[in-house]
Amino acid sequence: MSSSNLTPGKHVVVTDFDGGEGILVDLNTKRYYQLNETAMAVWKGLAQGKTTGEIAADLTSNYEVALDKASLSVQRIVDNFQTYKLVSAE
Amino acid sequence: MQTENSINDDYGPRRLTVELANICNLHCSYCFRAEDNLYSSHAEFFPLELLRRVVNEAQTTANITMVGFTGGEPTLHPFFAETLQAIGDAGLKVSFVTNGWHFDRVWPAIQANRASVSHVAFSLDGVTRETHDRWRGKGSFDRLVRAFSRCYMSKLPFTIKIVIRRDLVDQLEQVAIFAARMGAASLHFGHVMPTSNGVADDSALSLDEQRVAEEEIAILARIFKMKIGIDVGYYNIDERRPPCAPLAATNMNIDFRGRLSLCCNLSGFRGSAADELDVVADLNVESFASAYARFMEVAAAQLENRKTALAAFRSQATTPDLYTGSPCLFCLQSFGKIPWHSKSI
């Protein structure tokens, strides 16, 4: 859980919105994915090459959330990214 | 053979089309705007005060309900937010056509004027990074997709406009699927407006190819929920009503110099003869009211010219050629916009 070699797919276009939300467009499937603030933070963390553990730690710094809950959230979001083939292993 | 045609007989709202800027940040080889205006001469932007006056006068005189901004690239106007606000202040709706490159930068201006912005029209050249960026430069496609995303998430209707070059004619269905998946409210195809024999030969379709493409677009229009049509260059010899909004005098163009002219597709046409017979008046020194009267005369006269040209074919029991059957090409030719073509026939 603490390590990650996942990176955002080159086929995904990300757009930042005010308030921390964002939207992804998968250019392969031409599908939109709306991201809430947490999911956007995870996406940005992966783009910066951070591990899921580091991203969870970041969340605890920026939000009032315990590490175990943050870690679960991050993993669930990453799993979704993988399910929809939005990230790929380096 | 029974075929469907795809001519849109809806002229849309009565409106002004205003060229906000002469310049563009992209260099699309098939663009029909004069290169001197786009790239060589100094930047000229439509004056705000003139915009306010003309819009007010056009409301009273011509009952316009909408203003569409074009260019060049309209988002390059240094007071783009103020231009949107000026139309909103007049109680009208506004839209603009853009290549999307600067959309992130103007997005706050659009949000601030959301009540008056009816929709945005984006120019597309292909449904992949490779095909689009080949014409518009690296990074264009991603910027465009981000612009779609902003509109989609904010429920701002957007239109996709795409020119049917020869290399794209086999991909009309893919274009429609792409536009639908991106959430476009409508998809507007347009034929190439040829600016030279080279462009005509390389990119523009022949009459037969155009007919097949227009039939295909008609089929797509029936299949998709999204509105699909052809804006520019279509073949239409139905004389019962004017073939387009300018000739119906419901869409008036004002160029970046503030001159009222017949149609945005004729304005500043690349390689055209020096005479600008489509320019009706300089609104910097004349009221819209007096200019509009002449605009309607020019539109009516051009409509008669075309009827005469079509009648000549009818009297010989022959099918009008592309440069007569297409209202856009007929106007380009008769207003001296394509001297290279006149010489070649």
Question: Which residue, B63, B3, B19, B12, is CA-closest to B244?
Answer: B12
CA B89, B91, B97, B101 dihedral sign is positive
Q: State the smallest CA–CA distance between residue A85 and chain B in angstroms.
A: 18
CA B26 to chain centre: 17
- Name the 3-class secondary structure at A11: coil
Quick check: pTM over 0.90? yes
pLDDT of residue B63: 95
**Would the CB atoms of A31 and B181 count as touching at under 8 Å?**
yes
Within an 8 Å CB–CB cutoff, is residue A13 touching chain B? yes
Q: Which residues contact B38 (CB under 8 A, 6 or more apart)?
A: B22, B23, B24, B27, B31, B72
Question: Which residue, B160, B164, B170, is CA-closest to B224?
Answer: B160
How far apart CA B325 and CA B237 sit, in angstroms, is 6
pLDDT of residue B34: 85
Q: Where are the beta strands (DSSP E) in chain B?
A: 15-19, 66-70, 93-98, 117-124, 158-164, 186-191, 227-232, 251-254, 259-261, 279-282
A chain contacts of residue B107, beta-carbon cutoff 8 Å: none
Task: List residues of B whose CB lies inside 8 A of any A CB.
Answer: 128-129, 142, 145-146, 148-150, 152-153, 177-178, 181-183
pLDDT of residue B343: 60
pLDDT band at A18 (very low <50, low <70, confident <90, very high): confident
| Tens digit of each residue's pLDDT (9 = 90 or more) over B147-199 | 999 999 999 999 999 999 999 999 999 999 999 999 999 999 999 999 888 88
Average pLDDT over residues B127-134: 96
pLDDT of residue B28: 86
Q: Which residues contact B166 (CB under 8 A, 6 or more apart)?
A: B202, B203, B204, B205, B209
pLDDT of residue B6: 45
- DSSP secondary structure letter of residue B205: P
Average pLDDT over residues A44-72: 96
B chain contacts of residue A32, beta-carbon cutoff 8 Å: 149, 152-153, 183
| Tens digit of each residue's pLDDT (9 = 90 or more) over B16-36 | 999 999 999 998 888 888 887
pLDDT of residue B2: 45
Q: What is the ipTM of this complex?
A: 0.92
Interfacial A residues in 45-64 facing B (CB < 8 Å): none
Q: Which of B150, B181, B183 sits opposite A15 (nearest CB)?
A: B150
